[in-house]
């Protein structure tokens, strides 16, 4: 079952005994919860920020969505938000749609980063040769060249990438819309989920608050973590009257 990064410590309870505001983070294909380690100190200290790890056993997309929805419902006793990058953005969207459909408490805000709509139809990418997968990873960025070039380091990344691409290819959920306010994020030079690919999300949400475009490619946030976290915090606060106005730590 998907689970929060065990290294994340609990935030203090809100004044008056109210549960803390939760933010759940979903990683990209081939990534892990550790993608967000540099983000965590930047959020308000009263928030409980939970990067989620994907299951190792490889259930299908629908099962993963169900498991994540259950995990989030169990852990967030108060208001919460979801943010996902690339494949994680699509997963966060589907979790939100599932929560709304089943009458469970949905997030107050949803952030989708660097995933285009309509979603690309590229079957069997998880069966690509190792060389083609390396080329795909190099084109998107996000991995140091030393990892891409290493016959020792690359196999572990390759295994996670194949697992997550197979998971993505098992997705059959189509046509759903969400009522949760949606914010979009992307890199100006992203060859996959850049500005050209984001307008399609407007057909899938009742309320799109806008798109933030940053210099850079698919992993536009790598050199501007503080700026992106600041924007995410501000965007969430536009939707949540319940979380406390602690400053964003920059």
Q: Which one is predicted more confidently, 248 or 65?
A: 65
Tens digit of each residue's pLDDT (9 = 90 or more) over 83-122: 999 999 999 999 999 999 999 999 999 999 999 987 766 7
Average pLDDT of the residues of the chain = 85
Indicate the pTM of the whole model. 0.86
Beta-bridge mates of residue 85: 113
pLDDT at 10 over 70: no
- Average pLDDT on 162-186 reads 90
- How far is the CA of 134 from the CAs of 72, 123, 146, 219, in angstroms? 33, 17, 12, 16
Share of the chain above pLDDT 70, in %: 86
Bridge partner residues of 226 (DSSP): none
Q: Is the pLDDT of residue 19 over 90?
A: no
Residue 24 predicted with pLDDT over 80: yes
């Amino acid at each position: 079952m998907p689970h929060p990064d065990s290294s994340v410590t609990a935030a203090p309870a809100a004044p008056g005994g109210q549960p803390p505001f939760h933010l759940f983070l979903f990683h990209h294909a081939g990534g892990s919860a550790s993608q967000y380690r540099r983000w965590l100190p930047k959020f308000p200290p009263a928030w409980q920020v939970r990067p989620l790890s994907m299951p190792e056993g490889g259930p299908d997309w629908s099962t993963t969505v169900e498991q994540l929805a259950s995990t989030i419902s169990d852990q967030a006793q108060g208001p919460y938000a979801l943010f996902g990058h690339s494949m994680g953005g699509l997963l966060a969207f589907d979790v939100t749609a599932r929560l709304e459909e089943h009458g469970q408490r949905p997030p107050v805000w949803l952030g989708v980063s660097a995933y285009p709509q309509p979603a690309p139809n590229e079957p069997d990418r998880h069966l690509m040769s190792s060389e083609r997968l390396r080329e795909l990873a190099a084109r998107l960025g996000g991995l140091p060249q030393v990892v891409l070039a290493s016959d020792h380091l690359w196999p572990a990344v390759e295994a996670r990438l194949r697992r997550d691409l197979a998971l993505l290819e098992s997705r059959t959920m189509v046509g759903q819309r969400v009522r949760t306010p949606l914010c979009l994020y992307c890199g100006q030079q992203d060859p996959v989920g850049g500005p050209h690919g984001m307008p399609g999300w407007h057909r899938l949400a009742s309320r799109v608050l806008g798109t933030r475009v940053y210099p850079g490619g698919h992993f536009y946030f790598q050199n501007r973590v503080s700026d992106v976290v600041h924007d995410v915090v501000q965007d969430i606060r536009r939707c949540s009257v319940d979380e406390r106005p602690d400053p964003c730590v920059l």
